[in-house]
């Protein structure tokens, strides 16, 4: 049996939505992008949502909007995909890495210890779709002593008056926080990824959720950022295409990161059935939990803890008391059965680019501990019960061959 790791969910309704774009004669930014923004806005309860061409470009744009200057610091977890920190570099800032906790997510105490007068933003990451401790993080940035330490270097930072919290919600569309608060509405800004392997996809894409406090006007900010995503051009292509609508202006230093309608069509059709897709992901997650919770060597990932619930994006299984080399051997053994698994993630301090910047994995022991024993199992709605049984047997067999 051959089981891929994370194929996209494509049914006839999704195909028809894309075909509708093709037949409309309009395939770049237009009505389907706007419809997708509204779907995500209504689903997440964000105040405004802007769709762009990737999580990375969305994060870069928001950090540029914040007005990072040379030497400004942004706190990120050491355990995440590299885009989290690379976005900071692209925006002109300096990433400051802190260690994670046992649940994969960033340590709030680590954030506190890393804050300096140069700190302008914090980028927590909802690893595998399980939310970070946002009450604690938002309370932290609003503490009088932390706000007193804040030293704004732009008019936007001065207007905010404190450190910005930008949730890297790449994995967590559909996750909930305490009291049913949905990811996308719990921080100043959150950015979802709509990449091909995500719960909802547009092939490539991202969605910026805006929840800035007063005196910011999120509706006005949406308009400003939409323009910024189109090179700060005063008219998008859809408006310019209308008779007599050719004249435009460039009002600032923007980026070209808009999403196209043909991409939005995929996500639009998926969002309409996303509650059902989430139920299927949860079904698979719970099936794995039931199987592996019986094994003394298995450390099952967090799903529902203290009112927080995952989006079930990844099933991040960890094997207790195993070395990195043994973990790799287990993966190789699983592959012999035709089951594709993955590892999320290689901590950034272990990657050449970041090592050359002076980061050392020895400074992030929990990040390494999580990584060295982690194996991500397939989790997507198309998986059948027979396939799940086969995956579970393959993982158990691989453990017994290599370790047991």
256 contacts 61 by C-beta, under 8 angstroms: no
Q: Which helix (H) or strand (E) holds 49?
A: strand 48-52
Q: Which of 120, 198, 282, 372 is catalytic?
A: 198
End-to-end CA distance of the chain: 24
DSSP 8-state class, residue 233: B
Task: Mark whether 279 is an active-site residue.
Answer: no
Cis peptide upstream of residue 284 (ω within 30 degrees of 0): no
Rounded Cα distance, 374 and 344, in Å: 7
Rounded Cα distance, 126 and 310, in Å: 9
Write the DSSP string, 102-168. TTSSBPHHHHHHH--TTEEEE--B-GGG----HHHHHHHHTSHHHHHH----SHHHHHH-S-EEEEE
Write the DSSP string, 168-226. E-TT-TT-B-GGGPBTTSSSSEEEEE--TTSSS--SS-EEEEE-PPTT--HHHHHHHHH
Q: Shortest CA distance to 342 belongs to which of 366, 363, 322, 313?
A: 313
Cα–Cα distances (Å) from 118 to 143, 162, 188, in that order, read 16, 11, 19
Torsion, Cα 237 238 244 250, to 10 degrees, reads -40
**Residues designated as active site:** 198
């Amino acid at each position: 049996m051959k089981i891929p790791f994370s194929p996209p969910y494509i049914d006839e309704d999704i195909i028809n939505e894309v075909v509708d774009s093709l037949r409309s004669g309009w395939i770049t930014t237009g009505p389907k992008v706007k419809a997708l923004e509204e779907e995500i806005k209504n689903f997440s309860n964000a105040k405004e949502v802007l769709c762009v061409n990737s999580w990375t470009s969305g994060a870069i744009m928001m950090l540029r909007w914040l007005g990072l200057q040379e030497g400004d610091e942004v706190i990120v977890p050491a355990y995440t995909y590299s885009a989290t920190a690379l976005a900071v570099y692209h925006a002109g800032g300096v990433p400051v890495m802190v260690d994670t906790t046992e649940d994969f997510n960033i340590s709030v105490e680590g954030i506190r210890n890393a804050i300096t007068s140069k700190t302008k933003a914090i980028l927590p990451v909802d690893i595998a779709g399980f939310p970070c401790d946002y009450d604690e993080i938002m309370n932290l940035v609003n503490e009088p002593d932390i706000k007193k330490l804040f030293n704004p270097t732009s008019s936007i930072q001065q207007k905010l008056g404190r450190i910005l919290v930008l949730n890297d919600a790449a994995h967590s569309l559909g996750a909930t926080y305490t009291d049913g608060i949905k990811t996308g509405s719990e921080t100043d800004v959150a950015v979802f990824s709509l990449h091909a392997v995500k719960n909802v996809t547009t092939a490539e894409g991202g969605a910026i959720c805006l929840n800035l406090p007063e005196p910011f006007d999120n509706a006005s900010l949406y308009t400003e950022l939409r323009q910024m995503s189109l090179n700060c051009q005063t008219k998008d292509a859809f408006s310019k295409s209308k008779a007599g609508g050719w004249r435009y202006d460039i009002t600032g230093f923007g980026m070209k990161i808009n999403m196209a309608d043909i991409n939005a069509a995929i996500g639009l059709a998926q969002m309409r059935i996303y509650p059902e897709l989430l139920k299927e992901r949860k079904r698979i997650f719970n099936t794995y939990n039931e199987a592996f919770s019986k094994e003394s060597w298995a450390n099952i990932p967090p799903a529902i803890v203290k009112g927080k619930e995952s989006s079930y994006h990844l099933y991040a299984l960890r094997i207790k008391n195993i070395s990195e080399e043994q973990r790799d051997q287990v993966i190789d053994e699983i592959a012999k059965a035709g089951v594709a698994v993955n590892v999320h993630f290689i901590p950034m301090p272990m990657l050449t680019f970041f090592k050359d910047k002076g980061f050392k994995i020895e400074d992030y022991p929990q990040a390494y501990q999580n990584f060295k024993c982690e194996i991500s199992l397939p989790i997507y709605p198309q998986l059948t019960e027979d396939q799940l049984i086969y995956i579970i047997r393959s993982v158990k067999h691989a453990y017994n061959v290599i370790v047991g």
